């Protein structure tokens, strides 16, 4: 057997591709579902926390900063394991899908809060003053003047965070969520061959292409003027 066919036999064996295609595809669906759920709740929560900080109530801001830092500092795997194995001990049974969704949402929210907050701070003070001087209230100014500018500045880092958190869905493997990595590694051990894992990798690439395109589209969508 020459090198080339040894290579294709290890990574791209046709009959294994055929056999594992359905399970990898279902893993892809699960990963997409978790990722979308996490991005929606994580970004919403992150934006909400950043908005709460604009009220500048020192106790609230302090709590937010502490919690956010904790979620940014801890490895997400540690959080997943704590929640998944800890909650049943206090009598709460949460399905593994929900554990992954909640934990990753909080992690994304923590990073997103910092990014949105930095965006809000970077909008010049004159924007607040101009809007307030026309009689617009605090919340009106925030929604119509400040946030549209702040969010536009944060599209690139938020897109990166959304990509990073999508990769973290692979942590679902350790608690039995049937996402891409789980299906691929199960396939790999059954088949004793790297083909299913290669298919998993390709599934991740397929998943990221639209996310990257979406990020670029949002960037142009939020651009204004022609300069």
Partner 1 sequence: MTVPPSILQIRGLHKSFGSIEILHGVDLSVKEQELIFLIGPSGSGKSTLLRCCNRLEEPSSGSIIVDGIDLMARNTDINAVRQLIGMVFQSFNLYPHMTALSNVTLALRKVLRKPRKEAEEIGHRALARVNLAEKAGAYPNELSGGQQQRVAIARALALEPKVMLFDEPTSALDPELVGEILETMRELKESGMTMLVVSHEMRFARDAADRVIFMDHGVIVEEGPPEKIFTSPTEARTRSFIEKLTR
Query: Under the rule (CB under 8 A), what is the footprint of partner 1?
Result: 124, 126-127, 129-137, 140, 144-145, 148-149, 152, 224-227
How far apart CA 118 and CA 68 sit, in angstroms, is 14
Could you tell me the smallest distance in angstroms from the CB atom of residue 143 to partner 1?
9
Report DSSP letters for 143-157, one per residue.
IIIIHHHHHHHHHHH
Could you tell me the smallest distance in angstroms from the CB atom of residue 222 to partner 1?
8
Q: How many helices (H) and strands (E) does the chain have?
A: 10, 0
Could you tell me the smallest distance in angstroms from the CB atom of residue 139 to partner 1?
10
For partner 1, give the closer residue by CB, 91 or 225: 225
For partner 1, give the closer residue by CB, 152 or 167: 152
Q: How is residue 150 written in tokens?
A: 């702040």
Could you tell me the smallest distance in angstroms from the CB atom of residue 58 to partner 1?
18
CB 5 within 8 A of CB 189: no
For partner 1, give the closer residue by CB, 55 or 138: 138
How far apart CA 140 and CA 213 sit, in angstroms, is 32
Could you tell me the smallest distance in angstroms from the CB atom of residue 61 to partner 1?
21
Burial per residue of 196-227, b for 16 or more beta-carbon CB atoms within 10 angstroms, e otherwise: bbbbbebbbeebeeeeeeebeebeeeeeeeee
């Amino acid at each position: 057997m020459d090198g080339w066919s040894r290579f294709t036999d290890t990574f791209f064996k046709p009959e294994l591709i055929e056999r594992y295609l359905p399970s990898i595809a279902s893993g892809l669906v699960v990963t997409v579902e978790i990722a979308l759920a996490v991005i929606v709740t994580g970004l919403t929560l992150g934006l909400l926390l950043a908005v709460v900080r604009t009220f500048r109530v020192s106790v609230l801001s302090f709590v937010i900063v502490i919690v956010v830092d904790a979620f940014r500092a801890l490895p997400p795997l540690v959080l997943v394991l704590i929640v998944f194995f800890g909650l049943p001990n206090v009598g709460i049974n949460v399905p593994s899908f929900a554990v992954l969704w909640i934990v990753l949402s909080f992690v994304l929210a923590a990073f997103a809060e910092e990014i949105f907050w930095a965006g809000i701070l970077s909008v010049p003070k004159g924007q607040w003053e101009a809007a307030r001087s026309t009689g617009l209230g605090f919340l009106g100014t925030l929604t119509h003047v400040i946030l549209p500018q702040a969010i536009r500045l944060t599209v690139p880092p938020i897109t990166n965070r959304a990509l990073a958190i999508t990769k973290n869905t692979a942590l679902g493997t350790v608690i039995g969520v049937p996402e891409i990595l789980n299906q691929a590694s199960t396939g790999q051990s059954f088949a004793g061959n790297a083909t299913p894992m290669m298919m998993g990798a390709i599934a991740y690439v397929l998943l990221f292409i639209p996310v990257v395109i979406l990020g670029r589209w949002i960037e142009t969508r939020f651009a204004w003027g022609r300069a």
